[in-house]
Structure 1
Amino acid sequence: MDNSAELPMVVSVDDHVIEPAHLFDTWLPAKYRDRGPQPLRAGIGQLEYVGGKYRISMDPDGPPTDWWIYEDLQFPYKRNIAAVGFSRDEMTLDGITRDEMRRGCWDPKARLLDMESNHVEASLCFPTFPRFCGQTFAEAKDKEVALACVRAYNDWMVEEWCGDSGGRLIPLCLIPLWDVELAVAEIRRNAARGVRAVTFSEIPTYLGLPSIHSGYWDPFFAACEETGTVVNMHIGSSSQMPAASPDAPPAVQATLSFNNAMASMTDFLFSGVLVKFPRLKLAYSEGQMGWIPYALERADDVWREHRAWGGVRDVIPEPPSTYYYRQIFACFFRDRHGVASLDTVGVDNVTFETDYPHVDSTWPETKAVAEEHMAGLAPEVVYKVLRGNAIRMLQLDLDKHLDANGNLR
């Protein structure tokens, strides 16, 4: 990047929101509220991490923590998911209350201020209590209430979280994962009010759902293609993260987190979904990108050498990388190796994120991190990576917010 050029304002395609305590009391229809999620402040016991999963318990004598109670689920907020403002050594698995969090975690006006101070113009936020693609509601026993919760969350997301932001907070909606026809209806309902992003599982079979190869999800993919809705798949959206050993520390999972994105992308490249739906767009959130060049090379080699016995001769007419470059977006926040391989990753396929307010977040140093990664790149490439590709992917109308010098008006 030319050192004399001002860094473009960032469009972050992967951030997170901590749900306010009033969400379901305000947005869930009254007849469901006593069976819907209930906010609670209570003590938390010691958290254990075993085989890639947390074991959590309440303890009246433990540190105060904000929870959601829903059917049999007890869901606490933890410091590592509301980490901005804490030192690295304080970003633990201890419980936390909203009062202890930075206000931008759950207040949209405060979030906009934190974005402005961080050189970020716009942000797409994934859910926390519903989990990354709405697994919380998919696992619920009462599906009538669960459907109402999905719709209530989406109404809050569109009308309250994003509503007064002037387009700077970008709505990302859920679907009822347990019923594809209901999912299609929710895609259309939200697309009609301008939503262009939905969150989905990177590996649905890990959730006990049909695979993308089965054809079950084709109506969902068709609706997303028709409405221009991007399918966003966050690492961990299959409720299972890679862990080399059952007793491995969480650091192993954190290092291997890209593995599910790589597996999911390979699944899609050989599924025929991208052949059948050539205008469908997929986005891999927080998956990073340094692994993509070899994954594409290997997929193309397998297609050339093994497509007959590999079962894809009649399904994938062109090398798999063809569909990647046409329809898939990567996302990163720190990935020097990926930037060094940008020609292969694809200058039109890369988007940027800040991961606010998680442990990995680059807030409040996103501008410095971006400048370091973009050093030596042409200004037009920097623009694409930091904002242009996201604007195109999500059909955003954002440059109206900037003056002639690229600063927020």
Structure 2
Amino acid sequence: MTLIQNIRDDFPILNQTIQGKPLIYLDSAATSQKPSVVIETLHHYYEKDNANVHRGVHTLSVKATESYEASRDKVAKFINANCREEIIFTRNATEAINLVAYSWGLNHLKQGDEILTSVMEHHSNLVPWQMIAQKTGAVIRYIQLTDNEDLDLDHFKSMLSEKTKLVSIVHISNMLGCINPIEEITKLSHSFGAKVLIDACQSVPHTPIDIQNIDCDWLVASGHKMCGPTGIGFLYGKRKILESMPPFLGGGEMIDEVFLDHFTYGELPHKFEAGTPAIAEAIALGRAVDYLTEIGMNTIHSYEEQLSSYLFQQLERIPNLRAYGVKKIKNGIGKAALASFNVDGIHGSDLSTLLDNEGIAIRSGDHCTQPLHHLLKASGSARASLYFYNTFEEIDKFTVALKETIDFFTKITE
């Protein structure tokens, strides 16, 4: 199935050779490629509209401000937020989590309170809470995996108590590819009075997100994983909660009035956006949202399910390959279009290096999930991650090259 005719032509970077071979980019979980319309939006801003936002009445400033704030509207609509004030632009999802950790966590958590998260979290959803726990005396508890290598929901249920004040959980694991039941997790957490933060970096680019259905208190995502530029992400928060939180950073933009002995801060969303923001990046993120919307998130999700199914069918045919994550699924449905794996006796970095010689870009390392790799008794893993601009033919070329690479290493070690 072809998602859309000539869609690859929208991504100029894909039309090149690496090591003399056509590029096959299988590292979109780390960062997605950017369509021409997003690149052109960046270029247009700097060439035609470059000015600071919210600070001037001259034409360029007005145009820049209108475009910047229009992007906020687009993001709000994209995830079905109640209002634009619930969208805070940040540098990335990591900053968004830190914003919640220091603005809400530091002011609400105390000795003995419990933070629930999971062993599969990205470091960005672990380290901030570890830092806050050290400062407040709160306790972090970790949801374990089932034998099927997905989230143990029964374990999660057993951990919930009146002590639970926050549940911070990933929607789709960037290493296991499992899709966590965040609607159920949120409902259960709220029944105990706990707040819920969702790391949606691997889900917002790939599947429709409806904040109203999820009902989480906060959600974070990164622009660069959803066809947008680097240096821009966003925090969604329920308006009443955001209004109760003090500013994260102080300076320009976030103020109402400043005197020599005190200050007052502005209204949402500006009180959380201190200093000159990433204007061009935010505007380009808005264009990326337009682009994804034009294709349709349901269309993207459906196509990627087929890619995922085909990828795992092909990997299952490779001897001595150990793929991580959910195993008991039907035809690959119910798992994200990414595969982390190891091959007996071959380091993931070696696989990645030789595949690069064939023009195939995959990632190797711990994928910022060191605790999860420790649990799985792996020093690291190789990872192939797909997006809607990938094809079945690319999966074929990847698996053929992977087999040949494995055969090469097998022969030189015999």
* TM bucket normalised to smaller: under 0.3
TM-score using structure 1 length: 0.25
Which structure: larger Rg?
A: 2
Greater share of helix residues, 1 or 2? Answer: 2
TM-score using structure 2 length: 0.25
